Amino acid sequence: IAFGYCLGHRLYVWLVRNINKHKLSAAWSESTGEK
């Protein structure tokens, strides 16, 4: 159970990081006028 929880937590953190990175890059491209 602990192993599955650790794996799920790592996957969640990875997803959050990817989503944040995507939002940051999208906001950056908008602010610089690149579409």
**Residue that wins the pLDDT comparison between 35 and 26:** 26
Question: In this predicted structure, what is the pLDDT of residue 9?
Answer: 94
Number of structural domains (the chain) is 1
Does residue 32 come out as left (phi exceeding 0), alpha (psi in the -120 to 50 range) or beta?
alpha
pTM of the shown model: 0.54
Which residue range forms the structural domain that includes residue 21?
A: 1-35
Question: In this predicted structure, what is the pLDDT of residue 28?
Answer: 80
C-alpha span between 14 and 9 (Å, rounded): 9
pLDDT in tens, 7-34: 999 999 999 999 999 898 888 888 877 5
Cβ burial 7-19 (10 Å sphere, 16+ → b, else e): eeeeeeeeeeeee
